[in-house]
Amino acid sequence: MRWAKYLWRALNARPFGMPIPPLWFGIAAFALLGHFLNPAFYLIGGGVTALCAGLIASNRRFQNSVDAADMEPGEDPQIALLKRLDEESRARQAKLEQQCRELQRVLEGANAGHEHIQGVWQLAQLHLRLLAARSAADAVVSGRDGEAGKQLAVQAAVLNKRMAQPDIDQELREALDDQSKLLEKRLAVQTEAHRRVQLVDAELDRIREQIALIREEALLTSDPAGIRRSVDSLAAFLNESGRWLQDQEEIFGGLDPLSSDPFGPTSPDTQQRPRNGSRMGESQ
């Protein structure tokens, strides 16, 4: 099946600037010769066309180019992150992006610099990555109030009680001891997951409060220079968040680095694409 695809693409291959594939010119030429001179040219033309198409189709570089053209485009990394989240987390991200859009309009009205608007969407990007990290940690916790951890603790207590019995078989004791060690490791993972959830929740709240603070200060200040001064704290906040991100590498090891060219809204109902090559964050 793949070979037939390569042959068909080779038959229709055309160099840059040619509106018609060269092999079709050959087919037409031999067809005319066969019609006006000798029908044998039909066979000759068919053989030459098949040979040329076969040589092109068997070329490894040509096959790679065909396969690459048929590959589906890669998924947007921000959309991929959004798909990891549950409905509640997506709603939290959508609410924050709405605040970012409102803040962007205020900053644009005050003729704030592009770096300030870009910083707003970098915070939105950081917020999304934090939500993805929280989702992964919450999946380990498996429920609210540490129910999974409590069950593991109960199982460990039951195993320890069984191993404390004096008349227990030695092989059974060893098997129970191995099981107890595994439970201890799982409890350690649960504890770490709880720590990460609490840590990420605190940082998420800090980002939301920072966005709300900048927006409120910008709305209360009528002087454009005062508005620009009010968002100067955003750069300091981003630098602090960047250092925090590096310190928490074990949480974000599976996520892409924070981009210097941030995305715009990721919510399906509010997503806007940049036009005429402009970046999201410059105009909405």
**Whole-number pLDDT of residue 251:** 57
Same domain, 171 and 191: yes
| Residue 284, in any domain of the structure | no
Same domain, 65 and 82: no
Token pair of 279, please? Answer: 């970046």
Dist. CA 237–CA 29, nearest whole Å = 71
| Residue 191, in any domain of the structure | yes
Same domain, 83 and 120: yes
| Residue 7, in any domain of the structure | yes
| Residue 223, in any domain of the structure | yes
> What is the average pLDDT across 263-278?
45
Same domain, 130 and 47: no
Average pLDDT of the chain, as a whole number: 75
CB 156 within 8 A of CB 183: yes
Q: 118: pLDDT confidence band, cut at 50, 70 and 90?
A: confident
Domain end residue (candidates: 30, 53, 70): 70
How many domains would you assign to the chain?
2
Give me the domain span that covers residue 28.
2-70
| Residue 277, in any domain of the structure | no
> Left if phi > 0, otherwise alpha if psi is -120 to 50, otherwise beta: which for 272?
beta
| Residue 126, in any domain of the structure | yes
Centroid of chain to Cα 262: 13
- For the chain, the maximum distance between any two Cα atoms, rounded to a whole number of angstroms, is 106
Same domain, 100 and 138: yes
Domain end residue (candidates: 20, 42, 70): 70
Residue 273 has pLDDT above 80, yes or no: no
Same domain, 33 and 166: no
**Whole-number pLDDT of residue 223:** 65
Dist. CA 242–CA 122, nearest whole Å = 10
> What is the average pLDDT across 29-33?
87
Residue 86 has pLDDT above 80, yes or no: yes
| Residue 268, in any domain of the structure | no
